[in-house]
């Protein structure tokens, strides 16, 4: 019976979460295509066997398929769902149909349709944050030291209770969770901490100490500052006006984007462990943990975070991803001619191989992580 309950906690929230995010992403492509006069032939949530479908008045077939690990939006004239090239049957289209076929559109229109997916992921996250900040208030812990761990890095460096952390390694800190984020991105073991103590600004160089941390049922060691918040239960519930909430939501989305890019950059340069790369199983685990131990608000905030990450990853300049299409269309705009079909085909083959390799690597990391969590 326990396994059935766990499956509900982990599988159902994951499917709901991924389904919503995929719908938002593909609807961005769909809406911009419709507004641009391009015919959308298929809108699918999931892959594989069709479980449910209907065709609307614009001849778009809306589908839910058996494998809920993604989706696609296919346009008239596309050879496949990735818009990797034109279908051979486009030669048989009449002039009226060609006006609605994707391969015959100018690169500016193709660029707008491509950016619609990632753009809607960001808009969705900004909408969630805006509504949260406006109607519920901004949930944050002030970056004020409640106490230091005896013998820890902060204790040895002279950081005191009630000190307010202003920045770490030059990066502004606005709430207590920012401290954890900035410390996790440090690679040389030393944090330059600027703080405010009774109105006086002080800057300290703090060598981090390895400390044991228990998370998700397992204990690990990581470099930490060794401080606790002033009050772990205190949250800022002050509501904002809609304009102020929107601006803060945009800032929050940018902070998440910047932190993600910095982390990826450190992985590429070898300064950060590539074991941090997670895939579908890691997302399922995290969504399950949140649904099991936290409330709906935490789940919605996690969905906004993932929406930003989905939009950002899709903008990477890798063929097959939206970012790869963006690069191709920009080249065509600058050169004022369409890229050779054979070159496009080879680029998409390389891109597909890269994505497949990354997915396999992330899945392996997920299996290793889950093994250590449940069996080590």
The one catalytic residue in 26, 182, 209, 248 is 26
Give the largest Cα separation in the chain, rounded: 78
Alpha helix ranges (H) inside 269-321:
280-293, 296-314
Q: How far, in Å, CA of 89 to CA of 192, rounded?
A: 62
Q: Which residue do the tokens 């606005």 mark?
A: 174
Nearest CA to 207 among 195, 190, 187, 224?
A: 190
Number of other residues whose CB lies within 10 A of the CB of residue 22: 21
> Tell me, what DSSP letter sits at residue 82?
T
Angle formed by the axes of helices 296-314 and 2-35, to 10°?
Answer: 50
Q: How does DSSP classify residue 339?
A: P
Spatial contact of 112 and 215, defined as CB atoms under 8 Å apart = no
201 noted as active-site residue = no
Closest Cα to residue 101, out of 74, 132, 128? 74
- Kindly list the catalytic residues: 26
């Amino acid at each position: 019976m326990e396994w059935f309950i766990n499956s509900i906690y982990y599988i159902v929230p994951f499917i709901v979460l991924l389904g919503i995010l995929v719908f938002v992403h593909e609807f961005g492509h769909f809406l911009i295509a419709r507004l641009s006069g391009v015919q959308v032939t298929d809108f699918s949530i999931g892959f594989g066997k069709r479980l449910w479908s209907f065709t609307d008045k614009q001849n778009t077939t809306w589908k839910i398929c058996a494998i809920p690990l993604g989706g696609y939006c296919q346009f008239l004239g596309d050879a496949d769902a990735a818009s990797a090239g034109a279908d051979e049957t486009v030669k048989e289209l009449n002039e009226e149909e060609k006006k609605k076929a994707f391969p015959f559109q100018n690169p500016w229109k193709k660029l707008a349709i491509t950016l619609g997916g990632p753009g809607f992921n960001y808009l969705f996250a900004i909408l969630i944050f805006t509504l949260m900040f406006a109607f519920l208030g901004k949930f944050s812990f002030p970056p004020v030291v409640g106490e230091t761990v005896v013998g820890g890095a902060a204790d040895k460096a002279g950081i005191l209770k009630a000190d307010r952390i202003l920045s770490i390694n030059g990066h502004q800190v606005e709430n207590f969770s920012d401290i954890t984020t900035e410390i996790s991105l440090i690679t040389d073991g030393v944090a330059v901490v600027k703080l405010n103590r009774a109105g006086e600004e002080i800057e300290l160089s703090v060598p981090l100490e390895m400390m044991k941390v228990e998370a998700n049922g397992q204990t690990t060691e990581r470099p930490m500052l060794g401080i606790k918040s002033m009050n772990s239960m205190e949250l800022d519930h002050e509501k904002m006006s809609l304009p102020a909430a929107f601006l803060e939501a945009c800032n929050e989305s940018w902070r998440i984007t910047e932190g993600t890019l910095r982390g990826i950059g450190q992985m590429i340069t070898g300064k950060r462990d590539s074991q941090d790369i997670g895939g579908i199983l890691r997302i399922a685990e995290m969504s399950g943990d949140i649904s099991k131990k936290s409330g709906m608000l935490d789940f919605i905030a996690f969905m906004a975070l993932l929406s930003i990450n989905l939009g950002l990853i899709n903008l990477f300049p890798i063929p097959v991803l939206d970012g790869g299409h963006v690069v191709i269309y920009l080249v065509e705009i600058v050169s004022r001619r369409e890229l050779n079909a054979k070159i496009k085909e080879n680029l998409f083959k390389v891109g597909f191989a890269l994505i497949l390799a990354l997915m396999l690597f992330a899945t392996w990391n997920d299996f290793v992580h889950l093994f250590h969590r449940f069996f080590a």
